[in-house]
Chains A and B, each alone.
Chain A
C-alpha cells in the first residue's frame, strides 16, 4: 500500500527538513518582530501606537497566500529584493521566511498584548516609581511576566505557523506540501499520500504542543 514511498525518488525527509527550517527561522523572526510590535502598541508615543495598530490590523486580516505571493512577486520579481541569496530556491526560501514573519508576528503581538494585560498595573507603577525608564519597565518587569502568561497561546501560534509553511509551496519552496503535490501528480494512491504528510505534520506539531504546555505550567508566575 505504501509502495509509492520510494525515498530514492522522493526526498521526503529533505522536504520535511525544509518545513522545519522554514518554521524555526520564521518563529524566531516573528517572536522578535512581534515583541517589538507589542511594545509599540503599549508605548506612550502616539505615532508608534498608531503604526503598531495599523500594521497588525492590516496584516492579520490579509490572507497568508497573498502575503507570501506579494513577497515573491512584489519584492523579488518587481523590486529585485533577493535578501542576499542566490539561486531561485534560496531566494524563494528567504522570501517565504520574510512573508511568514510579517504575517505571524501580528499573532505573536496580540498574544503578548493579552499577556501584558495579566500583569497588574501596580507592578509597572512600582517599577516606574523606582526610576526605571519605559523600556526598562517593559523589558525587566512587564514582558517577562507577559511571556510566561502566554506560552500556551504562543504554542497555538507556533503550531499554526508550522502548518502555514505549506503556503510556501506556492512560490516554489521545496518543502513538504510541494513534494506532496509532486507525488500526487505521479502516483495513484491519493489517500495514503495525504496520510503520510498529515502524519508528518503531526510528528512536528504534537510534541511542540505538549512541550510548550509543560513549559507553560513550569514558568507560570504565582500571584
Chain B
C-alpha cells in the first residue's frame, strides 16, 4: 500500500457547509419494533464518526438510512444541505456522492475487479472508459490489490474483496463514506489490511461514518464515538473519553463485556 492520497485534496473546492450529514429526530419502525428512536446526529465535513453498540441496537439501520437504503418514518436527513429525496433520479444522484461499504462486500460477481470499480464512474458519472480504467487501476494500487484487477471477485480473499469494495466506492469521489460493519465478515488476519486502508482514508480527511465492533479502530481513527443501544444514541464522546471514562451505565456495561478479554 502506497502513501499516495486516496482522495482529492479537500481544500481545492469552494467554501463548503460545515455540517455534511444532519439527522434530525429520525424515527423508524420495523413492525412493532422501534429501531430508530429520535436520532439526532450531525457529522461535520472531514469528521470520522464511529458508531458502536450491541447487536440489534439500530446502528446498521442508521448507517443505511443515510443513503436511503432504509426509508425512515419520521424526521429528516440532509446531506450537504440537501434533504434526502424520494426514490428516483434525484436520489440516485445523491447516492452517487455517498460511498457505501457493506459487511458482505457485495461486489458484482459477474464483473472483474476492474469492471466493478469502473461501472459507477462510467454509467453514473459518464466519464470515458479509458479514463475510468486509469483511475480505477490507480485506486486499486492504493488499496493494495492492483495486481488482482482482472480477476473475478470469487477468486479473491475476503480482505481483498473488501478493499476492492472500498476502491469501488472511492471511484465515485464521494463526499462521505459509509461503512456498515466492514470487517465483521472477515477472517481475523484479514481485518487489519482493511482497517489500514480505512485509517489512511481517515488521515486524508475523508468524512466517514463507520459502524464497527473494532474498538482499536474507534480509538485510533475516530474523532467521535457514538454509542447506540435499543434504537437510541445513548452517548456521544471523543474516543479516549468514551473508552476510559464512559458516562452512561449502558456504555459501562457494554465496554466491560467487550474489553475484559
> Contacts of A123 on B, CB cut-off 8 Å?
106-109
> Contacts of B104 on A, CB cut-off 8 Å?
120, 122
B152 touches A126 (CB 8 A): no
- B68-108 to A contact mask, C-beta < 8 Å, 1/0: 01000000000000000001010011111111101010111
By the criterion of a CB under 8 Å from any partner CB, how many residues of chain B are at the interface?
31
Bound: A120/B102 CA distance, A: 13
Say how far B208's CB is from chain A's closest CB, in angstroms.
15
| Contact pick for B120, options A44, A120, A132, CB 8 Å | A132
By the criterion of a CB under 8 Å from any partner CB, how many residues of chain A are at the interface?
22
Say how far A132's CB is from chain B's closest CB, in angstroms.
6
Contact A130 to B110, CB < 8 A, known contacts A125-B69, A140-B119, A222-B152: no
> Contacts of B120 on A, CB cut-off 8 Å?
130-132
B106 touches A130 (CB 8 A): no
Bound: A126/B165 CA distance, A: 9
Contact A122 to B102, CB < 8 A, known contacts A131-B93, A136-B123, A140-B123: yes
B69 touches A130 (CB 8 A): no
> Contacts of B89 on A, CB cut-off 8 Å?
133
Say how far B143's CB is from chain A's closest CB, in angstroms.
17
Say how far B189's CB is from chain A's closest CB, in angstroms.
22
**A-B interface pairs (CB < 8 A), number:** 74
| Cβ of B61 under 8 Å from chain A | no
B109 touches A223 (CB 8 A): yes
| Cβ of A128 under 8 Å from chain B | yes
| Cβ of A79 under 8 Å from chain B | no
| Cβ of B23 under 8 Å from chain A | no
Closest residue on chain B to residue A131 by CB atoms? B96
A221 touches B96 (CB 8 A): no
| Contact pick for B154, options A120, A144, A223, CB 8 Å | A223
Residue numbers of B with Cβ under 8 A of A are: 67, 69, 87, 89, 92-100, 102, 104, 106-110, 119-120, 123-124, 152, 154-155, 165, 168-169, 172
A-B contact pairs, 13 of them (CB 8 A): A126-B107, A126-B165, A129-B169, A130-B169, A131-B95, A131-B96, A132-B119, A133-B89, A141-B108, A145-B108, A145-B110, A222-B154, A223-B154
